[in-house]
Amino acid sequence: MRGNPSLQQVRQLTLGVRNRSDLQPVTAMFYVDELRLDAARNDPGVAAYARVNTKLADFMDLDATVNWQQENFRTLSNTERRSADLSSDISTTVNLHKALPGSWGFTVPVKFSYSRDLSLPRFGPNSDVELQADEKDSLRTENSKKFLEFSISKRAGKNFLARWTVDQMNLRMSQTSNRGMSPVNPVNDRDSQSASFSYKMPLPKPTIPYLAWIPEFLPESLRKSQLSPMPSTANYSVNMNHQETANWRVGQVDTTVNEVFTLKETYATKVSPIRSISGDYNLQIDRDLRKKYDPSNFAFGREVKRGQRAHMKVQLRLVRWLDPSFTFQADYQENSDPRRRQQASLIDTTGGINRVIQTLDTNSKNSLSARFNVRLPDVLKALGAPGVRTRRPGGRARAAAAASADEEAAARAEGTVVKAEEEVGQPFFLRRFLHYTSSYVEPMSYSWRRNTDARNFNLVTRPGLPFQLGLDDSLRVAQRGVGLTQQDTWSRSTNTDIGSGLRLPLGFSVKPSFKEQISRRSGSTKDRLRVEQSKTFPSLIVNWGRADRVFGLRRVLNSAQVNVRYEEGQSLQAEGSLDPSNLIREGKTREWRVTWSGNWRIGPSTRIELSSSTSDDLDFEIEDRSDSTIVVSQRPPLRGKGRNLKTTKTFDTRYKLRPRELPLFGKLKSSIDLNFEININSQVRESATGGEQLVPIASSDRWDAQLRANYSFSDTFRGEGVIRIENDSNNISEKTRKVREVRMSGTLTFK
């Protein structure tokens, strides 16, 4: 046997005898015994760990760690090691501001850290043959990291110049250097530098009483209004990041070098000129400093990305019974980074000179909303008047009347003239009715919201400021290289919600509402416009919160309530406009739901729910818009129709058991939650082509019953048990799917 082969790689052993003489034959007999393990290796392993942590008052702290594990070192969790590892780490923080006078208010921490990991393999790649010392060094894996950070800030002082300069500045700079090498990746280096700077302008906050001149009979809150001409905040921040990486893997021709040099600027401000108006603006600019970076000529790279957001909110409360609120928000994103473009760059070949056309893509989202909250009870009370109650005088009233009569007689005897009190008449009937209804009417809310989204590709120049702020929908910018994969899109949706309510006697409440949504979006081409409208009316919710106070149910129920909901909706989809001749699809829905829920005196709670929904859909043929014979008020030919019917019945009861003692277990801190539920569902789908009769294409009846128990006998023993029966019948194929499930699980935690 030659060399030192690995037994893990041996697949076949061949034994033989070779006669080196070509003239003399040799005849002999050989016996080969089996291979046996002579002895197990028992090499001791050594490991060492050391850590030093010291602190020099509040000026400096130092933390150093060294960890070494030999290749033969084993632990209880790791019985085999394939390398000898050495790791070292040192970190320190020096507070340089402690050497400065404390009255200066500076904070200057300096952080430094260094770490190094060295790993020497025990075996070669795909082998169990131990390596020699020089072989281990040639196959070593080494990684190191250096980190240095410096930051400076200052607390606010009283000096005017410092308060406007260094007091509002924060500066941070850091440098990181990574070095790595391995047999597969001999070069893996990365150097990065980062710097950040922020400034918060300490703006004064003067106020001007601009309405102090108005007459005094106007509201006092209006006369005391203050005007703030200065922004409340104005901030600026910049972040710079420079990173260079070098990577070379075995098999590559040369080292791959990559550089990233970016600059990100952020401008932010907030204004609130008066109490009812507030707004904020945020602008973020990303620059690529790899090109066009010349600070002497104030050239700070090429802008590759821009994002801005403007938000404004107006809350005007001129009268007590009306709370209006208006909001506007505009988001604008711009991307001109050629590295992230999904198509090839555009080349301008005019004039005999080839040059790349710099284009950009934009994404804008604008929203405008208005909300009014009308306090109808206050309005009705202001318009109405309470009636004067006339009751038959009781004992105290008669005594007071008698005393008054005696006083009047005595005054007449003395010759004093007594003026009779004027009788107060009843207000008008309509005013009394308005005042009476104010106790039952809830406030009315009205909200309106419009959202506009637009994406535009390959713009030659930046759109104007009105387009960026959402004040103008027209782009007014030339485009180049518009293709099929990237087309401009535009969409706008409008939502309208109206809601109110009535509080009736015996715990009844009625809440009607109206919802409407209209959306317009561009289709497969820029000139095609798809219009969709969905309307929900009527939408009515009736709630009876005192359903336990009738027919003696109070004896068996703690509380009960009934909830009834009825809703109808209509949806239209058309091309261009919602004229009948442009319809593509029309749908109508009708849904009602009745729910009864109650808590029994003996403990459990029960919920019974019945619901039914019906939806009808009509699909129309798409007409040729160039046909002059189309009648605007006439619908296109019917292409197909469908109907979906669904009913649901649910019975659900829950009970929480708190037994004090269980058989075989004795007294335990036990808790069992039982849930029994029955669901019965029925669904039918019908479809037809053109004006033909509807034919069922799917019909199913499904019911399931389930008993679920969650138990907790103690803090360490929890579990769950489920018994479920389900039958799902397909009425079209006349087949039934049956499910029977019994499941129990438990968790025992040892502490």
In a 10 Å sphere around its CB, with 0-12 CB exposed, 13-18 middle and 19+ buried, how is residue 21 labelled?
A: exposed
Lowest mean pLDDT among 222-226, 594-598, 667-671: 667-671
Q: How confident is the model at residue 126, as a pLDDT?
A: 76
**Residue 450 resides in a domain:** no
- Whether pLDDT at 338 is above 90: no
In tens, the pLDDT along 168-184 reads 899 999 999 999 999 99
Lowest mean pLDDT among 58-67, 353-362, 407-416, 426-435: 407-416
Q: How confident is the model at residue 256, as a pLDDT?
A: 92
Q: How confident is the model at residue 319, as a pLDDT?
A: 83
In tens, the pLDDT along 204-218 reads 889 998 888 888 877
Q: In this structure, are 155 and 244 located in the same domain?
A: no
**Residue 117 resides in a domain:** yes
The structure's pTM equals: 0.75
Average pLDDT over residues 7-14: 66
Write the Ramachandran bin of 159: left for phi over 0, alpha for psi from -120 to 50, otherwise beta: beta
* 9 phi and psi angles, rounded to 5 deg: -100, -5
Question: If DSSP codes are grouped into helix, strand and coil, which group holds residue 54?
Answer: strand
In tens, the pLDDT along 309-332 reads 999 999 988 788 999 999 999 999
- Whether pLDDT at 345 is above 50: yes
Q: How confident is the model at residue 485, as a pLDDT?
A: 66
Nearest to 85, CA basis, from 104, 72, 101: 72
- Whether pLDDT at 420 is above 50: no
Q: In this structure, are 173 and 28 located in the same domain?
A: yes
Q: Give percent above pLDDT 70 in the chain.
A: 86
Q: How confident is the model at residue 337, as a pLDDT?
A: 86
Lowest mean pLDDT among 39-53, 111-125, 404-418, 677-691: 404-418
**Residue 373 resides in a domain:** no
Range among 82-91, 129-138, 213-222, 314-323 with highest mean pLDDT value: 82-91
DSSP labels, 567-627: EEEEEEEEESS--GGGEEEEEEEEEEEEEEEEEETTS-EEEEEEEEEEEEEEEEPPPPTT-
- The residues pairing with 60 across neighbouring beta strands, listed in sequence order, are 56, 94
CA angle, residues 592, 593, 598, in degrees to nearest 5 = 160
- Whether pLDDT at 425 is above 70: no
Nearest to 604, CA basis, from 568, 556, 564, 569: 556
Secondary structure letter of residue 409 according to DSSP: H
Residue 279 near residue 313 (C-beta atoms within 8 A): yes
Q: How far is residue 88's CA from residue 144's CA, in Å, rounded to a whole number?
A: 9
Q: How far is residue 746's CA from residue 712's CA, in Å, rounded to a whole number?
A: 9
Q: Can you list the pairs that 186-192 forms with residues at least 24 positions away whose Cβ atoms lie under 8 Å?
A: 186/248, 186/249, 186/250, 187/246, 187/247, 187/248, 187/255, 188/246, 188/247, 188/248, 189/245, 189/246, 189/247, 190/243, 190/244, 190/245, 190/246, 191/243, 191/244, 191/245, 192/241, 192/242, 192/243, 192/244
Q: Which residues contact 245 (CB under 8 A, 6 or more apart)?
A: 189, 190, 191, 256, 257, 258, 259
**Residue 560 resides in a domain:** yes
Number of domains, the chain: 3
Q: How confident is the model at residue 416, as a pLDDT?
A: 53
Q: How confident is the model at residue 411, as a pLDDT?
A: 61
Q: In this structure, are 241 and 295 located in the same domain?
A: yes
CA atoms within 13 A on the CB side of 45: 19
In three state form, how does the secondary structure of 416-432 look? Answer: CCCCCCCCCCCCCHHHH
Nearest to 581, CA basis, from 636, 529, 627: 636
Specify the length of the chain in residues: 751
CATH number at residue 691: 2.40.170.20
Cis peptide before 663 (omega within 30 of 0): no
Q: How far is residue 709's CA from residue 720's CA, in Å, rounded to a whole number?
A: 6
User: Which among 136, 151, 182 is the end of a domain?
Assistant: 182
CB atoms within 10 A of CB 689: 11
Secondary structure letter of residue 14 according to DSSP: -
Q: How confident is the model at residue 278, as a pLDDT?
A: 94
**Residue 614 resides in a domain:** yes
When pLDDT is cut at 50, 70 and 90, the band that residue 421 belongs to is very low
Q: Which whole-number Å values give the CA distances from 41 to 37, 46, 72, 548, 648, in the listed order?
A: 11, 16, 11, 84, 74
Q: How confident is the model at residue 713, as a pLDDT?
A: 76
Q: In this structure, are 578 and 619 located in the same domain?
A: yes
Q: How confident is the model at residue 418, as a pLDDT?
A: 46
In tens, the pLDDT along 463-482 reads 999 999 888 888 888 887 76
Domain assignment of residue 275, given as a range: 184-314
Question: If DSSP codes are grouped into helix, strand and coil, which group holds residue 22?
Answer: coil
Q: How confident is the model at residue 221, as a pLDDT?
A: 76
Q: In this structure, are 518 and 569 located in the same domain?
A: yes
Buried-exposed string 141-179: b where 16+ CB fall within 10 A, e elsewhere: bebebebebbebbbeeeeeeeeeeebbbebebeeebebb
- pLDDT averaged over the chain? 86
Residue where the block lists tokens 């000129």: 273
In tens, the pLDDT along 599-657 reads 999 889 999 999 999 999 999 988 766 555 666 678 888 999 999 999 999 999 999 88
**Residue 387 resides in a domain:** no
Lowest mean pLDDT among 7-21, 63-77, 375-389: 7-21
Q: In this structure, are 58 and 95 located in the same domain?
A: yes
Q: In this structure, are 196 and 137 located in the same domain?
A: no
Lowest mean pLDDT among 170-174, 404-408, 594-598: 404-408
The DSSP bridge pattern shows strands 583-600 and 529-544 to be unpaired
**Residue 438 resides in a domain:** no
Alpha helices in 31-159 (DSSP H): 133-138
Q: In this structure, are 156 and 191 located in the same domain?
A: no
Q: In this structure, are 178 and 220 located in the same domain?
A: no
**CA end-to-end span of the chain, whole Å?**
57
Q: How confident is the model at residue 27, as a pLDDT?
A: 83
Secondary structure letter of residue 35 according to DSSP: P
DSSP labels, 482-525: --SSS--EEEEEEEEEEE--EE-GGGEEEEEEEEEEEEEEE-SS
Average pLDDT over residues 567-572: 95
In tens, the pLDDT along 534-550 reads 999 989 999 999 888 87
Secondary structure letter of residue 319 according to DSSP: S
Q: In this structure, are 692 and 722 located in the same domain?
A: yes
Average pLDDT over residues 358-383: 92
- Whether pLDDT at 351 is above 60: no
- Whether pLDDT at 688 is above 90: yes
**Residue 329 resides in a domain:** no
Q: In this structure, are 586 and 691 located in the same domain?
A: yes
Range among 412-416, 528-532, 678-682 with highest mean pLDDT value: 678-682
Q: How far is residue 69's CA from residue 118's CA, in Å, rounded to a whole number?
A: 11
- Whether pLDDT at 8 is above 90: no
When pLDDT is cut at 50, 70 and 90, the band that residue 281 belongs to is very high
User: Which among 314, 337, 358 is the end of a domain?
Assistant: 314
Q: In this structure, are 275 and 299 located in the same domain?
A: yes
User: Which among 182, 205, 226 is the end of a domain?
Assistant: 182
Tell me the two tokens of residue 120.
Answer: 């020497």
The more confident residue out of 354 and 101 is: 101
In tens, the pLDDT along 241-271 reads 999 999 999 888 889 999 999 999 999 999 9
